[in-house]
Structure 1
Amino acid sequence: MEAASIAFRLNKNKVAKDLLKQSITRQLAPFEFLRDFKSLQPYKNSVEMQDVLAQYDNLENQYYRELKNPAVYMEIQKLIALDQIVRENDQIFDKLAQKTDSANITKLIDLTKKYGWESRAWLLLWHHRTSFKENDFVWNFFLPYIEEEIKKDNINKDFLVDFYEFKNGSNHLVTNTKNEALFTLISLGNINGNKNYSDITNLDRRRKSVGLPPLYFDHLIYNTELPKDYQYNPENLLSDLNNL
């Protein structure tokens, strides 16, 4: 959707429309989220935007028709539903969350072994972020599995970024040391409201290792402020983006 807003800005409305469609057929973007997405508001009355919203039901159906394994998808959805029900009430959460999360992740491991990774399962894995990279049954299976899938290009290289940032922030809390982000400030793992980066000199090198573009790209897209010690030659941007 962010890419679609950029395409609109460049008067490439056909490209924008295709990207909007893909946000539904590939990622199942919710109707209201798509309609109200901040960067798309200047184009909300465009023919392309209105046409995509009018086609939403058909595009949503296309997403389901193209699922590789609908049965596994539905199993994951059931686990997510249980996950969310437990979290609707604080008393139930205190009593059942740990047991439910353990049962869900055990089931997810079985499903992943049989059918491969289903992207909608991310939420179930996120609930085990506190033990990331520790010696437990969850990460003893998922960490090498995900790293291997990344090598095969079946999972995005930035998949573990939130987990790494969360682990990094947690370590700083425990040791009461200065908290600095490893890869990005735009992360669910940024639990301490980080505003600074660790080792600015090698930041873009670290970002590239996990499939993130140079920080300068975020500055262009989101108008974020660049750290004062950050140095980058904008002439290299296209090449750096092509070589992610």
Structure 2
Amino acid sequence: MKFFTLIFLLKIILVFSQTSEEKYILSKNFIYLAKMDAYKKDYQSSNNRYGKAFKLHKVEDSNDLLDAASVAFEINNRKLAKEYIVEAIVGYNAPKEFVLEYKGLQKFKKDQIFTDIEVNYENYVEEYYKSKKSIAAYIEVEKLIEKDQNIRNLHINITKKLPRNIKDKKRLDSIFNQQMIEVDSITTNSLIEITKKYGYQDKGWIILWHQRGQEYKNENSKFWKFFKPLIKKEIENGNLHKSFFAMFDDEYEIINSGKQVYGTYSDYFEVYPIKDISGIDARLKQIGFPPLLYDKLIYGKKLPEGYTLTEDQLYQELLSRVKGYD
């Protein structure tokens, strides 16, 4: 009995000695293991690891909660399953259709819980908005996103309606590109001011994403000179995951070398191969991502040519990341 008490106390000491950034990474590693356990149909172990992950850090989005709900259903813990689904809505504003049609939950769709979710959905959404620290910041960012998307969607919709052989397409693209530059100038400056006033806003990510490519590495960019150090601080404080810049880095590398650093464009390995395939898993570990094989097993993604890792090696790697905490 004393031995197990000592082990328990050591685990608590280990967790409390970690930085916020380390806790976030550990939480994600427990989630990776939980999904691997579910893949192996070891639902009890999966459920336990989801529980550990959620105690360490809030999840990144609603998907992990819905996957955890699926596992809870598998072990017949309906109460926990409902708690996870409700949290996906109250905490992350998961759309009703998204929840009801979520692939991992379809086999449990006849459960009374889903009827209750439908009936009470609007109340859950109301709770989501009530929980926002600043509804003013939320609305301001939503307005920026609407402005950002309107010009881009207009370009796409008009281009779709044009004949393929239209002579003035380049001229039309040029006009829209200029308009996008003007809109981006407004949205980027506005996002900086909103962030200064209210702090980092998760929903502003799309504005950041539209400043990727060459602009991302532009040392004179007012936008990135403001946001890069701020985001790095958010990562240190455990508010953002260490992998935040991975897609930005891959986008920049693709433009300049035609290759990827982290393989975030997993559907395009044949077009944009991974730079130094032998070192990919080590690079992924540095930013808190699982080995590349994980995406194939869990999400059905293709693997790039030359990649070698077995399922057992993947599982052992993930276990090593939570050693002492599991």
Match of 2:309 in 1: 230
Q: Which 10-residue stretch deviates more, 204-213 or 87-96?
A: 87-96
Counterpart for residue 8 of structure 1: 73
State the alpha-carbon separation in 2 of the partners of residues 7 and 225 from structure 1. Answer: 29
Distance 1:220 1:53 in 2: 32
* 1:123 corresponds to: 206
Q: Which residue number in structure 1 is paired with residue 88 of structure 2?
A: 23
Paired position in structure 1 for 2:121: 56
AA aligned to 1:212 is F
Q: Does 1:161 align with 2:242?
A: no
Matches within 5 A, 1:1-244: 1-90=66-155, 93-130=176-213, 131-135=215-219, 136-173=221-258, 179=259, 181-184=260-263, 187=264, 190=265, 193-194=268-269, 197-224=274-301, 228-231=307-310, 232=313, 234-240=315-321
Structure 1-normalised TM-score? 0.82
Say which SS state the counterpart of residue 208 (structure 2) adopts: helix
Task: Determine helix, strand or coil for the equivalent of 1:87.
Answer: helix
- Percent identity over the alignment is 34
Relative contact order (alpha carbons < 8 A, sep ≥ 6): 1 or 2 greater? Answer: 2
SS of residue paired to 2:308 = coil
Q: In the alignment, is the contact (CA less than 8 A) between 2:267 and 2:301 conserved in 1?
A: no
Give the distance between the partners of 1:113 and 1:37, measured in 2 at CA: 37
- Contact map agreement 2:291 2:314 (CA 8 A) in 1: no
Report the residue type matching 2:188 in the other structure: I
Alignment root-mean-square deviation, CA: 2.7
Deviates more, 1:3-12 or 1:15-24: 3-12
> 1:140-185: per-residue Cα shift (whole Å, max 9, x none)?
1111211111011122222222212211222234xxxxx3x4334x
Q: Is the 8 A contact 1:169 1:191 kept in 2?
A: no
Change (3 A) 1:96 1:35: same
Matches of 1:115 and 1:234 in 2, distance apart? Answer: 41
What is the distance in 2 between the residues matched to 1:240 and 1:226?
23
Q: Which has the larger radius of gyration?
A: 2
Quote the Cα distance in structure 1 between the aligned partners of 2:291 and 2:267: 23
The CA deviation at 1:95 is 4.6
Measure how far apart 1:119 and its partner are: 0.6
Q: 1:48-93 CA distances to partner (integer Å, 9 max, x unpaired)? A: 3333233211111111011011111111111111112222322684
Q: Is the alpha carbon distance of 1:166 and 1:191 closer, same or farther for their aligned partners in structure 2, counting shifts above 3 Å?
A: farther
- Which deviates more, 39-48 or 64-73? 39-48
Identify the residue that residue 176 of structure 1 maps to in structure 2.
none
Deviation at 1:33? 2.0
TM-score of the pair, normalised by structure 2 = 0.63
Gap runs ≥5 in structure 1? 174-178
How many residues are paired up?
233
Work out whether residues 217 and 237 of structure 1, in 8 Å CA contact, stay in contact via their aligned partners in 2.
no
In the alignment, residue 139 of structure 2 is paired with which amino acid?
Answer: M
Query: Distance between the aligned counterparts of 1:234 and 1:144, measured in 2?
Result: 34
Bigger mean CA offset, 101-110 vs 5-14: 5-14
